[in-house]
Chain A
Amino acid sequence: MNILCEKSVLAAALSLTQRAVALRSPLPNLKGILLETGEQGLILSATDLEFGITCQVETKVIEHGSVVLPAKILTEFVRKLPEDLVELKTNPENPLQVHITCGSIKFDLSGYAPDEFPNLPRVKEDAISITVNEGLLREMLTQTEVAVAREDTRPVLAGLLMEVEKTKLKFIATDGHRLAFRQAVIPETQELKAIIPGRAVQELIKILDPDMGEDVTVKVDNSNIAFDVKGVALSSRLVEGKYPPYQQIIPTDYKTAAVVDSAELTAALERAEILVRDGGNNLVKFDVGENGIRLSAYSQDIGSIDDFISGGVEGEPVEIRFNVRLLLDCFRNIKDSEVNIDLTGEFSPCMIRPVGEHNYLHLVLPVRVS
């Protein structure tokens, strides 16, 4: 193998691909990045067997070939090179040794045999394929990923449920205390249900650009999922198991409904969080009355905070407490100016939705004080 590539292009491709490397694996091959040449240039791949990233970059190929190089050292080294052309050339006598040259800098790096590199998770030929706008997909994932369970005692909840029903693409996550639901309209396609591991979702969010109008191709079969965007392919095994029926936990009625400015409420919650996160209780109290929500928080050693967010309220007045973090996870991802907050006492989840919007909803269980 012999290729010539701009340092910045190579560094970017390496730092992206190395996210899938299994740095703690006992297998040296898994700690590496597979570099191979293709029609367009260089193809970099990494996998921890559950999750994989492939990245294509345009480079000048002088001689075709492939090699596996240790990810950490290669990525760090290339990052520290000056902005110049980098040459990667395998030693003709020993194809597992690579000479890296950049200006007067020469670096000889030993690698591993490419034929021992494991296969990345791959979808079958007959996988269902859908196309979604990059910015929209990122927004949908960010709004729901926050509710994915962090511990893995219930593996299905540590994943994000993706559903396609006729023309609706839906993402759902719940950790048992809150639930996030987001849907969007897509061209009609085959129905599907898949649980994507939380880690793959987090990595995908990092790769997707919020302001880009590129198309992302999503392919799903029974056990794998693959996302393709701008020469980067991210693939993952799906979480096995059945996602619990989430529709039954979405309330159908409420006793109190408030409409408030979402930026104003978010700011008030962020101020309250400063106080209660150090006090350790994370609790905020809502007194929902005729003209809005009185928000208060108290921390024994630090002090207390009192705030009022005016808004329209229908139904019974209610006093209710929440974990401020769970509310912020929801409100920080709402771009709309006004939100509906529906409440039915401290035994029912509070339902938060942008006003007039039926595509996003978030449930948060109140905290009962006994």
Chain B
Amino acid sequence: MEEIVRAIEDSLEHFYIAINQLKKECETLRMEVQRLEKENKWLREQMPGKSNTPVAYKEGQDALARLYYEGFHICHMQYGNLRTEGDCLFCISLLKK
């Protein structure tokens, strides 16, 4: 019986920790969405005209490069996330193109 109570207590504790983590994640994601919306708007303003012309492509690349040097990922996997640990192999390979 004691074993079962302890097991239930243990799983409740795990459950609370998990809920707290989820709450934190939700908050981070909400902030992230807001930031991305802002950034998207800014990017749209930076890239006038049709985006399939070579000039616009170049401007697009420049905007990406700027975003990268401002400290954000521009790679597919982590686009828009803050680069917290220096350079990113995936972003750099995109800048080289």
Contacts and interface: CB of A to CB of B under 8 A. Distances in A.
Contacts of A176: 78, 85, 88-90
A177 B90 contact: no
Given A26-B14, A27-B7, A178 B89 contact: yes
Given A154-B78, A244-B76, A367 B92 contact: no
Contacts of B51: none
Contact of A368 (B10, B86, B96): B86
A249 B77 contact: no
Interface string A22-56: 00001110000000000000000000000000000
Interface string B1-19: 0010001101100100000
B87 interface: yes
A176 B90 CA distance: 7
Contacts of B86: 177, 365, 367-368
Nearest to B14: A26
A365 B89 contact: yes
Interface in A318-369: 347-349, 363, 365-368
Contacts of A366: 87
Interface in B63-87: 75-78, 85-87
A174 interface: yes
B93 interface: yes
Contacts of B93: 248-249
A349 B77 contact: no
A239 interface: no
A244 B90 contact: yes
Interface string A230-261: 00000000000000100011000000000000
A26 B92 contact: no
Contacts of A367: 86
Contacts of A347: 87, 92, 95
Most buried by B among A26, A179, A368: A26
A176 B76 CA distance: 12
Most buried by B among A174, A249, A347, A363: A249
A318 B63 CA distance: 29
Contacts of B89: 174, 176-179, 249, 349, 363, 365
Contacts of B78: 154, 176
Given A26-B10, A177-B85, A367-B86, A154 B92 contact: no
Contacts of B75: 244
B29 to A, nearest CB: 12
Contact of A249 (B11, B14, B85, B92): B92
A147 to B, nearest CB: 10
A224 B3 CA distance: 33
Interface in B14-33: 14
Interface in A119-158: 154, 157
Most buried by A among B76, B87, B89: B89
A348 B92 contact: yes
Contact of B7 (A26, A179, A244, A368): A26
A176 B14 CA distance: 31
List the 9 closest A-B pairs by CB distance, nearest first.
A26-B11, A249-B93, A26-B10, A249-B89, A26-B7, A365-B87, A176-B88, A248-B93, A244-B77
Given A176-B89, A347-B95, 8 more contacts: A27-B7, A154-B78, A244-B75, A244-B77, A249-B89, A249-B90, A365-B88, A368-B86
23 contacts: A26-B8, A26-B11, A154-B77, A176-B78, A176-B88, A177-B85, A179-B89, A244-B75, A248-B93, A249-B90, A249-B92, A249-B93, A347-B92, A347-B95, A348-B92, A348-B96, A349-B89, A349-B92, A363-B89, A365-B87, A365-B92, A367-B86, A368-B86
